[in-house]
Structures are given as C-alpha cells and as structure tokens.
Structure 1
Amino acid sequence: MQQLFSRCLVFMMLLGLLFPGLASAQQQLLRPALPSALAASSLLLDISAAGERLVSVGERGHIVFQDPQQDWQQAEAPVIAHLTGVDFANDQLGFAVGHEGIILRTRDQGSHWELVHHELTAAPVRAEAKLPELELALEQAQEADDLVDIEYLEEQLDLLYFALEAEEVSPLLDILMFSPSQGLAVGGYNLALMTEDAGESWTLVSDRIPNWEGRHLNAITQDPQGRLYIAGEGGVVFLSEDQGESWEDISVDYDGSLFGVIATEEQLFAFGLRGHLFISDSAGASWEEVPTPTEQTLNAGLILGERLLLVGQNGLYLYGEPHQLQALQLPQRQSLVSVIAQDQQIIAVGRAGVHRLMIPQDADSL
C-alpha cells in the first residue's frame, strides 16, 4: 500500500473512475462542499500561492487557505468533487480542477469559487456539434473508396457517439496558467482543455498532443524560458515552445508513470513511480536516470537554490544535489502529494492535510 496516494492511484481509486455504477453518485457532485473544522487536516492534493496567501485543494471539494500568521480557513466551494490541482495566474485570479473535468475559478484570492467548466456536460455538447461534419466526411470517403480515411473517421465517430451517451468522464489532474487569460488543464486519457479568456470558455486541445495511446497526463509545468512540459503515464513527457499550440514528444525510456516535471534554466527533472528520477541537460532531447535512496513513489518537487527537493509516499522527502539526495521522512509517515516554498518555510500537503518540512541547516536560501 506504499503507493496508495500516488497520483496514479488517486486517479484510479479516489476518483473512482474504474468502478462501475458510480454515474449516479457523480451526478451529485455539483453541490456545495460541506463546512468542516478538519478540512485542513483532510486529504489535500495540491497547493499554490496567491500572493502571500497559500491555497490548497483536496478531497470532497475542500479548499483551504492561509494568510501570513493566520490559521487555515476553509473557502466556499460549489462542488463536493475531489479537487486535484490548483494554480493562480496572479494574486487574485486562480483555478482549481478535479473529478468529472470540473474547473473552478476564484477572483478573490481563493476565498470564494465558481464553477466555470464541467466536462460531463460539455463533452456531449461538443460531440453533437461535431457529428454532422464527421458524418459528411465519412460519406465522402466512402464514395471515394478511401479505406484509410474510412477507418479513421469511423473511429472518430465511435468516440463521438460514446461521448453523447457517456455517464462518466476523465478527471482533470493538474492546471497551469501561463498568464491571466491563458492556461491549460490536463488529465486522464489525454484530456487537455485550454482557456484564452481567463476561464470564460475552455477548448478541447487533446489532438495537439502526440499522445497516440491516450495515456494519462499527470502534471504540467513551465520552465524559466517559458517552455511547457507535461508528464504522464508510461514515461511520457511532452514539450511545447509555443504556449501549447503544438507539442513534441520527448518521453523518457521508462514504462512507469511520471508524476511531475520541474526545470531550471539548464536542467529538466522528471520523477515518478518507485523513486525513479531522470535528468535532462538538453531540454528533453536525452535523459539520464539518476539513482535515488528510495523506492517510494515521488509525487512533486521544488528547486531550492542549487538543491532539489522531492516529496512522496510514506512521508518521504528527498533533499540535496540531484546525484546526492538525502532521504528524510515525516515521523507519522503521511504521504505527500504537493509542496511549495513560502516565507522561508517549506509546506507540503497530502494525507492528513498540511505539513511543514524540515530540511538540513545548510540549505540554500529559499
């Protein structure tokens, strides 16, 4: 059970997409999250900064925030869905994503949230609008006896017919805002949605990503040069140098899932199942596997000066130079899913909520 709270199992078990008969329960998610005095101690799955405020999201629609020198408070949220990712475009404007392709928006630093996208209802609308175009294209391909186009169009039509009748959809697992107007949310089975109007509308852009097997997209990040990276199932890593308009496959030669990518100006780090860590000095053109002192799944990470910090299962976190990482652990061994540095502190979230991480005294300045 060491990997119970890895992004992969969070996707499969906590979100419940692999269990039949949950459609009726999923339809009930559009209800306000229940107030709870223990929200900041519940399972939290991501954390982000909104100016000096920290905002974290997690199970049952829990959203909590903390201002400097204040206690954690629970925000008002319009859903009880598991929320898996959160990111802020500036001090006030932020977005959270989760189960059923739900996207929430806040305009007041995370105190209040509104539902701006629900993939369970959006997918059938897109499918119905696309059907006439594909049906006409199929008729034309049949008249021309173009077997290649016929096979492709029949597959695409099958997907549309399925979307029209589907009672469940893939979850969104992460979101990154490039600017106050533009951002990308990614998730299970190659689900990718982009906004260019500050969340007023979301466009399906999955076909831009060369993810032909439809692998899960677990995390998205941006490097100091503005390049975008997506990490996912089966060692996939994708690179965009044009703000998500097109993507290049720079995957690692590794069959396991990757749960994060972090970057400096010179290096790229990808990490995931069973403590696997890969480094690229060439923006993903080639990768080197680096031994780590653990087989625990690594879920998230930070660059701290010249040092690397990675957090994972069983309360494990690794700190140090990439080739000389030291293994540390929370006393209660609560699994960690996300981490952030703020005001000379390192805050991680995961099982049992919020945790402050202690690192060796010789740490570089945060």
Structure 2
Amino acid sequence: MSLNQPILLALWASAAMTPLTVAAAPDTAPAEIARKADQSLLVDLSRAGDRLLAIGSRGHILVSDDQAETWQQVAVPVNNLLTAAYFAGDQRGWVVGHDATILATEDGGDTWVVRHFDASMEPLLDITFFDDQRGLAIGAFGLAMATTDGGANWSMLESDLTAEGMHLNAMTRLNDGSYLVVGEVGLMAHSTDQGQTWTMLDSPYESSLFSVAPMGDGGAIIGGLRGNAFAASDVAGGAWRELQTGTVQSVFGISDDGAGGFWMAGLNGSLLHADAELNIKPADTRAVNGLDDTLIATAIGGVAYADVLTLEGDLLVVVGDAGVRRMAFSR
C-alpha cells in the first residue's frame, strides 16, 4: 500500500482538561503475525535503549536488537494503523494510532496493553510524556488527550492548541525543555510549561507541516508539503530560514545524524542530508545485506519513506510503504 492514498490522507491530511474521561471501547482485535510484516507499511521508528521499534499498518510492531539487521514482530492487541511511538527509557513506552488508540508497554516493547481505543474517534498521530505522570497525545482535527496518572487514564484536552480543529501532526521536546507542535496550514504551537499552556507561533509556511526535530539550544528544523523545510535557532523568536531541499517531495521524517546534521525522509524515495550548516543534498547511501541500491530507491514505483534513524557504524534505517530498509551512508 502506498502512503499516497489513502493512508497519507488519513495520517497527514493536508490547557485545561475537561472532566470527561474517555473509556476504551471493547471492540478491538489483535494484530495477525505476518511473515512479511517487515515489508508492509511502516510509518515510525523509535528507540528503547539499544532496541529499535518500527510500527505501522494492521497493528504491526516490530523490534530489532541487532541494529536493524533482523526484525521480529511482537503480539499487539489491536490491528489498526499505528502512527507514532514514544519511550521514556529502555522499558516504558507508548504507541498511538487510528481509532484514538493508545498502547503501553513496561518491558521494552515485548508486550503491549490497550490504554485507550475508540473506533468513533479520530486518529492520534504523536505522543510524548512531560514526566512520569503527565503525557499528551495529539492527532487529526485538533484531537488532543492528556493523562496525569502515568497513562492509565486519558482525558480530552481543550486549549489554544486544539481550538481551530487543525490536524496536529507531530511534536518534539526542544533542547531547552520547551515543546513544539506542527500541523495543518502551517500550525506551530510552543509550550514552555510542559504542555500546560500553548502559544501559537507565526509560521513561515501556510500549508501542512509533517515533521519536526530539535536543533541547537532552543531551535528546530521542520518539514512539510512539497519539499518545504525551514529552520530557526530560536523558535519563539520566529526568525525562520527557508532551506533549499531541491525537491518537491513532502518531508515526513527528520532526525539528527549524530554529527550536527539531519536526515530528511519523504515521498518517492526522497532521502536528503543536511550538514551542520544546513546545506542539503541527496543522501549518499549504499546497499547493505545484499540489497540492491535500485530496489531501495525505487521500490513500488517510488517508495515513500516515512521516518529515518541513524545507527552505529555509519548505518541508516528507514521505514515506509515498502517496510523497513537498512543502508550504509557516507558523510
């Protein structure tokens, strides 16, 4: 299945809690263990200590303990599309997805339990925890849910972040401890008090933003529709610099390269590298494990990459609509 249709529309379509606590609906079904799960649609990568996790369609959660060389699918109690994961340390983590799904693990991703599920609700697209007890999950059409008891219960959140009903696509903790959310029609929201209040920022771009990563002390790099990407050394200051990506392929995943630069993953096999000065060029990669470079670049008529992570030993791992790919790179 391609990220273009219909998954892209569902996933990335271009503070006070209410007293209501939304209970998990009972109509869930477990994910099937699939022989080719590592070749199916996967949309997010995360780390749990030395372990890697990849998540995606049909409730698939895969784990790797050997730097993405091999992957094992684990049992999951839901079979809907999963969109994002967050880990607080090696063992404790959460995954969100369609049907307002929230899953939790206490053993590094080996086993998962449902903390919220409601098929009548919109997709959740990202999740973070501010401390051991307080967390926030965000999603489509301004959906936001919060917990104050370590993820055991989740309540609807209404604030400036949700007021316009825009898709809330991604969020990250900046290096100064503040938080940045990006979303539909250039939405950018900044919190300096761990999500208790949000300030809407002037955006350098008026269409969808899909990805964000921290940069420097209080800055960020953001990516969006048609290859648009921007960076600022101080997000609150608003001096955003447009980056020359050289592509019109939407940017769905951004991550640091471990050396001051960034990887940017997107549609049609788009994998870019930004150096420490934010000069961008196509990533210089080569196949590993016997894979053909042509297959990596053009699988399924132009594979869509959704996320990317740097591994040890000049290795990369990417996920997308052709599953997971491991490749070597040159800086």
| TM-score after normalising by structure 1 | 0.76
Matches of 1:289 and 1:29, distance apart in 2: 46
State the one-letter code of the partner of 1:229. Answer: L
Q: Which residue of 2 aligns with 1:44?
A: 42
Count residues in correspondence.
300
Matches of 2:251 and 2:123, distance apart in 1: 21
Matches of 1:334 and 1:28, distance apart in 2: 35
Shift of 1:355: 1.2
Q: Which residue of 1 aligns with 2:214?
A: 263
Shift of 1:225: 1.5
Matched, 1:216 2:216: no
- For 1:301, which of 254, 257, 260 is the aligned residue? 254
Matches of 1:59 and 1:200, distance apart in 2: 24
Matches of 1:62 and 1:28, distance apart in 2: 20
Q: Which residue of 2 aligns with 1:334?
A: 303
State the one-letter code of the partner of 1:171. Answer: P
Matches of 1:259 and 1:62, distance apart in 2: 22
Shift of 1:186: 0.6
Matched, 1:315 2:269: yes
Runs of 4+ in 1 over 6 A off after TM superposition: none
8 A contact 1:256–1:273 mirrored in 2? yes
Give the SS at the match of 1:315. Answer: coil
- For 1:181, which of 133, 140, 164 is the aligned residue? 133
8 A contact 2:256–2:310 mirrored in 1? no
Aligned 1:23-102 pairs, distance under 5 A? 30-68=28-66, 71-102=70-101
State the one-letter code of the partner of 2:280. Answer: L
- For 1:354, which of 309, 324, 330 is the aligned residue? 324
Shift of 1:234: 0.4
Structure 1's unaligned 5+ residue stretches are 14-26, 121-167
Shift of 1:213: 2.2
Matches of 2:162 and 2:102, distance apart in 1: 23
Shift of 1:253: 3.7
Show CA shifts across 1:89-129 (max 9, x none).
Answer: 11111111111101011111111111011244xxxxxxxxx
Shift of 1:327: 1.8
Show CA shifts across 1:36-71 (max 9, x none).
Answer: 111111101111111111111100111110112662
Q: Which residue of 2 aligns with 1:9?
A: 9
Show CA shifts across 1:242-294 (max 9, x none).
Answer: 11000001141422100011112243111110000111122243222222110
Greater mean deviation of Cα atoms: 321-330 or 74-83: 321-330
Shift of 1:194: 1.6
Matches of 1:6 and 1:341, distance apart in 2: 29
Shift of 1:308: 1.9
8 A contact 1:313–1:334 mirrored in 2? yes
Show CA shifts across 1:296-341 (max 9, x none).
Answer: 0000111222212111011111103354201248422421111222
- CA root-mean-square deviation: 2.4
- For 2:225, which of 246, 250, 273 is the aligned residue? 273
Matches of 1:237 and 1:5, distance apart in 2: 26
8 A contact 2:38–2:62 mirrored in 1? yes
Greater mean deviation of Cα atoms: 94-103 or 340-349: 340-349
Give the SS at the match of 1:4. Answer: helix
State the one-letter code of the partner of 2:151. Answer: G
8 A contact 2:97–2:123 mirrored in 1? yes
8 A contact 2:254–2:262 mirrored in 1? yes
Matches of 2:64 and 2:227, distance apart in 1: 31
State the one-letter code of the partner of 2:70. Answer: D
Q: Which residue of 2 aligns with 1:236?
A: 187
State the one-letter code of the partner of 1:295. Answer: V
8 A contact 1:170–1:189 mirrored in 2? yes
Q: Which residue of 2 aligns with 1:106?
A: 105
Q: Which residue of 1 aligns with 2:21?
A: none
Aligned 1:273-292 pairs, distance under 5 A? 273-286=225-238, 287-292=240-245
User: For residues 283 and 7 of structure 1, do their structure 2 counterparts lie closer, same or farther at Cα, with a shift above 3 Å needed?
Assistant: farther
| Higher CA-based Rg | 1
- For 1:227, which of 168, 178, 196 is the aligned residue? 178
Q: Which residue of 1 aligns with 2:18?
A: none
Show CA shifts across 1:136-182 (max 9, x none).
Answer: xxxxxxxxxxxxxxxxxxxxxxxxxxxxxxxx321001112333433
Give the SS at the match of 2:297. Answer: coil
Matches of 1:103 and 1:323, distance apart in 2: 35
User: For residues 293 and 194 of structure 1, do their structure 2 counterparts lie closer, same or farther at Cα, with a shift above 3 Å needed?
Assistant: same
8 A contact 2:142–2:161 mirrored in 1? no
Matches of 1:357 and 1:250, distance apart in 2: 37
Structure whose residues are more often strand by fraction: 2
Structure whose residues are more often helix by fraction: 1
State the one-letter code of the partner of 1:54. Answer: L
